[in-house]
Structure 1
Amino acid sequence: MHAAATDAPSAALRTLLRSVGQIVLQPNAFTGACLLAAWCVAVPRLACAALMGAVAANVSAMLAGYHDDDTRAGLHGFNGALAGLAAFSFIRDAATATAVAILAATATAWLAGPWSRWLRARGLGCLSSPCLIVTWCWLPMITSGAQPVSPASLHPSGFAQWSGGVLASFAQTGFASGALAGSLVLTGIAAASRRQALSALGGATLASTAHLLLGATPHSFDTGLLGFNGVLTALALVDSGVVPMLGGVAVSIVLQAAAARFGWPAMTAPFVLATWCVQWLRHRGTRGAAADESVECAESAQPVTTPVTRRN
């Protein structure tokens, strides 16, 4: 009896931490703990926002009757955590942010079920698209042109500035900023997979460099705003191969630069769209190969007819 009572809170805590870890595509409780530590270092209220959103989304997923295995893996909670982070990043008033966070997180959970099924039928992953859809619905109601609140960045020089900006990209995956917070996020990813951590570092470096060459401001680099979509795209496509991964990062760079040019609050949309492009191409190629194989099998199954020579 005592063991069962102890296991339930422990399992719930692991589910909650995995929901947070899924923000960087890692169904790992330690990764989630590292993200929470990063928020506590950068902006402590973001840790509360993520936990609030994850809890609301997981409860909604249970009420909706979603698969328990997916919920325990954090797949139903991480969009809720992101929705809570978005609310507390764009809304300064704590009471309003809390209300929006809970409602938005609940909406992401109810949306995720049918939306993910529709995407899966087309070979696409759900990723953070439910959070984007819900956030874009309420964001115009807030002051126009709202931007996430980021702490002021320092301006070290040389290698320190470069490494700090790249590491800050990892913190921005959770709406935070700062090299220390980014280091904690990178540590959490490396604990789950060193290969994915190295790929994410490559994605952050490539994206940051490209945006600087395209004319982005040093402040955006210091706060990690230039590289976080590169981090997420590299993590999502690392198992697809080097060329598809680099291609996806390149697409995310173009999309983020276009969004910045027109002043759109893109958030993680460049990562989602870039990943979908690669997944769609792979899905289309797989279907084409399967169709060709079926045609070959059908042709080989046909009886061989030998022409008959008539003798007169």
Structure 2
Amino acid sequence: MHAASTQAKSAALRTLLRSLGQIVLQPNAFTGACLLAGWLLVEPRLACAALMGATAANVSAVLAGYREADTRDGLHGFNGALAGLAAFNFIADNATAAAVAILAATATAWFLEPWTRRLRANGLGVFSSPFLIVTWLWLPMITSGAPVAPQAITPPFIATQWINGILGALAQPGFGSGALPGLLVLIGIAAASRRHALWALIGGALASMAHVLLGATASSLDAGLLGFNGALTAIALADCGAAATLCGVGVAVLLQAVASYFGWPAMTAPFVLASWSVQGFRHRFTRGVVARKAMERIDPSQQLS
């Protein structure tokens, strides 16, 4: 009985950590542990938020009867973790943030399954879209002070700022910042897939450089705000080929620049929309090729009849 209880607790912990790892698209418990360590290093409040959101979403998925294998892989928990992180990032009061985090995380879990079926029918991944939709629904309801203007420092940037910016971009998907937390995330990604880790660096670096050319400030680079959508897009599209991946990173840069110009809280939306654009094009192209091959296999006399 004791052994069975220990195994159940171990399985639950791995599921929780995989939910955190899925934030950077890795169904790996060690990746999740690296993200958790990064949050503890930056601000323990973020670690509590992620754990709270992931737990609420996973429990909701179990109660809804979703596939156990998907829950174990963290697919039902990571949007909940992001919902919890967003609540504690945008709401200062801990009690209010906790209530919003649990409700929002639960909403992402209940919304996930039908939304995933609809997206997969069109060849699209779900990514962090449930978290974005739920967060955008409650975000206008909160009041906040005027945004702080970024520090007006212009290029050239020194090497340490580039290092901080590129590594910090890997921490930003989980609302973290800093080179050391970003390095922990990179180690976690590399443990799951060295190729994804390389693409994350490439995507983050290219996106950061592109935003600097578009006039981004040094403070934004230091915080890792310039490259995280590019890094996520590069990971998501790594299996689509180099050309498609680089094209997706470019689209993510443009979308983030537009959102920043208008002051929209885009979060990971540029990554999701850029990935969808590439996946949607590939899906339609593949269907067209299959249809043409099917027509070619039909006997010419049948085509004329």
The TM-score range, normalised by the shorter chain, is over 0.9
Structure 2 residue aligned with 1:178: 178
Query: Per-residue CA shift, 1:45-75, capped at 9, x if unaligned?
Result: 0000000000000000011110000000000
Give 1:146 deviation, angstroms.
7.4
Corresponding position: 1:299 with 2:304: no
Corresponding position: 1:32 with 2:32: yes
Distance 1:216 1:91 in 2: 26
Corresponding position: 1:113 with 2:113: yes
Query: Per-residue CA shift, 1:190-243, capped at 9, x if unaligned?
Result: 111111100000000000000010011110000000000011000100000000
Corresponding position: 1:269 with 2:269: yes
Give 1:185 deviation, angstroms.
0.5
Please tell me whether Structure 1 or Structure 2 has the larger radius of gyration of its CA atoms. Answer: 1
State whether residues 90 and 146 of structure 1, in contact with CA within 8 Å, keep that contact through their aligned partners in structure 2. no
Query: Per-residue CA shift, 1:106-147, capped at 9, x if unaligned?
Result: 000000011111111111111000000000000000126776
Structure 2 residue aligned with 1:232: 232
State whether residues 147 and 265 of structure 1, in contact with CA within 8 Å, keep that contact through their aligned partners in structure 2. no
TM-score, structure 1 as length reference: 0.92
Structure 2 residue aligned with 1:162: 162
Structure 2 residue aligned with 1:247: 247
Structure 1 residue aligned with 2:122: 122
Corresponding position: 1:206 with 2:206: yes
Structure 2 residue aligned with 1:78: 78
State whether residues 161 and 218 of structure 2, in contact with CA within 8 Å, keep that contact through their aligned partners in structure 1. no
Corresponding position: 1:22 with 2:17: no
State whether residues 200 and 234 of structure 2, in contact with CA within 8 Å, keep that contact through their aligned partners in structure 1. yes
Counterpart residue identity of residue 165, structure 2: G
Distance 2:182 2:162 in 1: 13
Structure 1 residue aligned with 2:192: 192
State whether residues 81 and 105 of structure 2, in contact with CA within 8 Å, keep that contact through their aligned partners in structure 1. yes
Moved over 4 A (4+): 144-148, 300-304
Structure 2 residue aligned with 1:278: 278
User: Aligned to 1:173, what secondary structure does the other structure show?
Assistant: helix
5+ residue gaps, structure 1? 151-156, 305-312
Structure 1 residue aligned with 2:133: 133
Give 1:261 deviation, angstroms.
0.5
Distance 1:159 1:260 in 2: 25
Distance 1:194 1:99 in 2: 38
Query: Per-residue CA shift, 1:230-274, capped at 9, x if unaligned?
Result: 110001000000000000000000000000010000000000000
User: Aligned to 1:225, what secondary structure does the other structure show?
Assistant: coil
What RMSD over aligned residues (CA atoms) do the two structures have, in Å?
1.9
Structure 1 residue aligned with 2:101: 101
